[in-house]
A and B are shown apart, each in its own frame.
Chain A
Amino acid sequence: MRFLLLVALCGLAFAETWKTIDIDRTIDVSSQIVKITALHTLENTGDEAKTVQIALSDDENAHLAYLSAQIDGVKGRLTVSKDAESKNGFKIYTVTLRNPVAKGKQIKLKVNKRLTAALKPLPAKISQLENQFVVFSGNAYVPSVYAVATQKTTVKTTPSGKILSSTAVNPHKQETERVSYGPYEKIAALESKPIKVHYENYSPFVVATLVERTIEVSHWGNIAVEEYIELVHKGAEMKGTFSRLDFQQDRRGRRQPALQQFTTVLPATARDIYYRDEIGNISTSAVRVRAESVDVEIRPRFPLFGGWKTSYVLGYNVPTYEYLHNEGNQYGLKMRVLDHIFENIVVEKLVTKVILPEHVRKVKVITPFPMERLSDEIKPTYLDTTGRLVVIVQKENLVAEHIQPFTLTYEFEFKDMIREPILATAFFFVLFLAVIVYVRFDFSIVSDPLLDAREKLEGRLRELANAVDRKQKLYSKLTEAAANYKQSRDSSLLAEAKKAFESGRTTANEKLSALLASLKKDKNLAGQGPRTAEIRRQKSQQKSAGPEETQFTKKVEESRYRADSILGSL
């Protein structure tokens, strides 16, 4: 029965026109991520082909975080189909090649897989001083859609870590730090041979259960990035109590299966970096500015042992010129959808929020890999009227290979930016307007006629003083004209000035007499008016003057003085 099935499968495989000549696979299990790199050497035995199929076991597929394929030695990833078809305990994906491959030609296809949560700690619970051992379950044969002529697999375990046991599938070799399987010859398509490797893995299995990355774009030239991160150590759980003394004295040092410190790599232009957890920042941290990046080294409040969790916020500012581009009212933001947190981290859930300025239109998001776009939110913040648009995208199960840029394009008008200071201006103006209205209300309970009259009189006197001032200006203008005449001998100008003076004087006199009349009327109300009103005395300055002129000037001054003294006596 089994043989028949195999024959049937072989038949299927032959129809696929490809033949696998060799597979060299490396499985790196030194961290919490299973990193599988397989180099397939394939030969086209049928017609010209544009697609190749790759297989993953169901077990691999269940833990799959990242899958990519590329031609060895050529840059750029090939398109891998999103959906896989199930066949006999395997999932089959289709890879589209850039150029069609003719019959008899060979290609070298490099397939990268990243599996998360695939290593099981055994024992599941350890005390503080014990080492962490894990079990890797895999397959001695590389899953392949086509029959494989030769293949070999190397499982790389943690450096200087013990290997307790490994399933033997001959030829099989267990060395320090590695277990090699193969070479195996003539393995049929979709054949499997389960293996298990039980070994020591002291790297902390720290998983970010939630990464909330908020990118706030300000058109004043800044992009603020803030990441809220929840960490859980998902390795062997710690049993018993924690001793700080044992922890400090532990001779394993960095090789304890606990997260003691980590380094986050930020962009080179990052500034104003801050770190805090639930109740502030109690950590030993350092910021190292390197040529290509800014490294933040953080030693959290407590080391993270198996089953322990923590959360923190890390934020920084970057200038817009690194990530924001524009042409007219078109803007394009190109930033990483997920940034470096620390080496070999697994992100269970990533939520990336982009806060855009107010009144943006035609927002389009292009993500490097399929992500779920949640419904937009509105975030009201400083100097906002309707609130800012928040674009949210989400994805689960990510690894370092997912650190790729997304592109967000939108339209924005400059006038919407200038609205912010205008809003602040309006606020202050309303405040002053309130003062203007307030002083115009009369809150006195009893009316005070004396005070009222005095205020009225003061007002009148000021008006009078202004009127006198105005009249005196007319006089000085005339004298100026006379002085000018002396030099230019232009009688028309003098006549003009005289005319203007006379008409001005009549109106001024009328006004003055009217004011004086009303002042007299008011005088009776205010028992005692202010003795003096300040009126400036102006001196006409003349350098050289004839005797007639000096006389005239004297006369003018005298009359002015008289006017002043009259005003003063009021």
Chain B
Amino acid sequence: MDVNTMPRYTGPISDAKFPHLTIILCATGLLFASWFMVLEVTSNKYNRSILKELTIASLAALFLGFGTTFLLLWVGIYV
């Protein structure tokens, strides 16, 4: 295997897109997270639904998880 004949490697996402991705993903994630928290504090044991809570929680976690990763990359912590 010769390194010189191999194609050059670039990251999967251009670093110019990190700020946009961070803002969009984190904003969406925070929206879901706040919806989740409002739901948690307003519902009582007779009207809460575990399925709804888990759906919103997983959506919030997914957006926040990817958003935070891109935030780290944006600020220069190359994970």
Chain A residues with a Cβ under 8 A of chain B: 216, 218-222, 224, 272, 317, 319-322, 324-327, 330-334, 381-383, 407, 409, 414, 417, 420-429, 431-433, 435-436, 439-440, 455-456, 458-460, 462
Contacts and interface: CB of A to CB of B under 8 A. Distances in A.
Interface string B3-14: 110111111111
B38 to A, nearest CB: 12
A454 to B, nearest CB: 9
Contacts of A333: 3
B1 A332 contact: yes
Contact of B9 (A324, A427, A431): A324
Interface in B26-51: 29, 33, 36-37, 40-41, 43-48, 50
Contacts of A429: 57-58, 61, 65
A218 B78 contact: yes
A317 B44 CA distance: 52
A330 B7 CA distance: 11
A208 to B, nearest CB: 27
Given A425-B61, A436-B40, A325 B3 contact: yes
B57 A436 contact: yes
Contacts of A423: 65
A268 B77 CA distance: 22
A222 B15 contact: yes
Contacts of A428: 29, 33, 60-61, 64-65, 68
A325 B47 contact: no
Given A319-B10, A327-B1, 17 more contacts: A218-B11, A220-B12, A220-B15, A272-B76, A317-B76, A321-B9, A324-B8, A325-B8, A383-B69, A383-B72, A409-B1, A425-B61, A425-B66, A426-B65, A431-B61, A439-B41, A458-B47
A462 B49 CA distance: 13
Contact of A330 (B1, B11, B46, B54): B1
A435 B37 contact: yes
5 contacts: A319-B10, A332-B3, A334-B4, A432-B57, A435-B37
Given A421-B69, A432-B60, A459 B44 contact: yes
Q: Which 7 A-B pairs have the closest CB atoms?
A: A221-B11, A425-B65, A459-B46, A332-B3, A218-B78, A432-B57, A325-B6
Contact of A216 (B10, B62, B78): B78
B13 to A, nearest CB: 7
A272 to B, nearest CB: 6
A222 B73 CA distance: 10
B7 A456 contact: no
A222 B44 CA distance: 49
Contacts of B50: 436
Contact of B15 (A216, A221, A427, A435): A221
A319 to B, nearest CB: 7
Q: Bin chain B's interface residue count.
A: 35 or more
A334 B46 contact: no
B1 to A, nearest CB: 6
A436 B78 contact: no
Contacts of B13: 220-221
A422 B4 CA distance: 33
A421 B66 contact: yes
A320 B1 contact: no
The residue among A320, A423, A432, A436 with the most chain B CB atoms within 10 A of its own CB is: A432
B74 to A, nearest CB: 11
B43 to A, nearest CB: 8
Given A383-B69, A455-B44, A432 B61 contact: yes
A330 B50 CA distance: 45
B64 A424 contact: yes
Contacts of A424: 64-66, 68-69
A334 B61 CA distance: 38
Contacts of B58: 429, 432
B61 A325 contact: no
Contacts of B61: 425-429, 431-432
B57 A327 contact: no
Contact of B7 (A327, A431, A439, A440): A327
Given A325-B6, A436-B57, A220 B1 contact: no
Contacts of A409: 1, 3
Given A331-B9, A382-B72, A424-B68, A224 B3 contact: no
Given A321-B8, A325-B9, A420 B64 contact: no
A382 B44 contact: no
Nearest to B46: A459
A88 to B, nearest CB: 44
Contact of B65 (A332, A427, A460): A427
Contacts of A327: 1, 6-7
A167 B40 CA distance: 93
A436 B11 contact: no
A421 B61 CA distance: 10
A462 B11 CA distance: 52
Contact of B10 (A321, A334, A383): A321
A326 B11 contact: no
Contacts of A432: 33, 36, 57-58, 60-61
